[in-house]
Structure 1
């Protein structure tokens, strides 16, 4: 099953991209780097530049139908850039409309807020997003990992890089359920 990893061209927190990516590969999934433009994505270790990664597909040229699930890595700048890109926001919203699972960590729920898909959901994030999530109609909780939803269209969220082990395990479980359920 193909899993989209959506990032802006720069600002993604490297560990929040690479650890779920490696977990997906180890589970036999096919991770695909989707970005707002072709070329390279510049990752960061907090505020310092880290590695670059090659974009596999451009958000305007692909759709949620091509994927079994979506991962939104964090980083402060990454979701802020994504939420300003109409095609990226539409791409995220499409996963919810099609009932496909979505996973978001750290600051990534900002993109979910912009896509107007948190209303009525319970999720976690980096603590500074709690007011934004509440204002968008969601319920914010301070938990290592939160899975919201039943059947397809589950939302997996985590707070920070320290939660990556639990986040990756929850993502793989939800993606496996999606793969066996379709």
Structure 2
């Protein structure tokens, strides 16, 4: 039996490093195969807050990806990353289709911006970086200030300090 693949979707830059690398490690440690999708080929640039950090090789473009090939989707944060993703029609469609599939979708920090653009937060309870609470409410979601929130197949957390709970909720959801 093939190892379940977990899609990580990012823009080419602006990704908060630990919000990519820590869930990536958790997924690998749980025995799953993390796959980095982006809007462009090559490498993505991660950041430690506002400072450039590591790069990571892209495994595939979201424009050619199929939801059927993955067991779950992870949306790392950083301010610029989800802001760029929500402007990419292929990324937004992929996220919308993934949520509709019922498979786990985990978004941390500013990543719910992409969920909002995909119009999938209406009637859902979620959390995020605090500055997104009005955006979430305006999109019909119920924002709460909690470490991790699981509502149906959506898993959300606020910031890097929440990564242990976020990673556990993610790997638990994939294992079900």
TM-score normalised per structure 1: 0.94
1:21 alignment counterpart: 24
Runs of 4+ more than 4 Å apart: none
3-state DSSP class of the match of 2:122?
coil
Q: Say if 2:14 and 2:47, in contact at 8 Å, map to a contact too.
A: yes
Query: How far, CA to CA, are the matches of 1:66 and 1:81 in structure 2?
Result: 24
Deviations 1:79-102 (A, max 9, x none): 000000000000100101211110
Q: Say if 2:99 and 2:154, in contact at 8 Å, map to a contact too.
A: no
2:117 alignment counterpart: 114
Query: How far, CA to CA, are the matches of 1:16 and 1:125 in structure 2?
Result: 13
Query: How far, CA to CA, are the matches of 1:85 and 1:176 in structure 2?
Result: 30
1:172 paired to 2:171: yes
Task: Measure how far apart 1:22 and its partner are.
Answer: 0.2
Q: How many residues align?
A: 173
Q: CA RMSD in A?
A: 0.5
Task: Decide which of 93, 96, 104 is 1:93's aligned counterpart.
Answer: 96
Query: How far, CA to CA, are the matches of 1:142 and 1:81 in structure 2?
Result: 25
Query: How far, CA to CA, are the matches of 1:27 and 1:97 in structure 2?
Result: 25
1:7 paired to 2:10: yes
2:158 alignment counterpart: 159
- Structure 1: state its 5+ residue gaps: 178-182
1:133 paired to 2:132: no
TM-score normalised per structure 2: 0.97
Task: Measure how far apart 1:116 and its partner are.
Answer: 0.1
- Structure 2: state its 5+ residue gaps: none
2:107 alignment counterpart: 104
Task: Decide which of 47, 52, 55 is 2:55's aligned counterpart.
Answer: 52
3-state DSSP class of the match of 1:51?
strand
3-state DSSP class of the match of 2:73?
strand
Deviations 1:133-181 (A, max 9, x none): 00000000000000001xxxx111000000001100111101111xxxx
3-state DSSP class of the match of 2:149?
strand
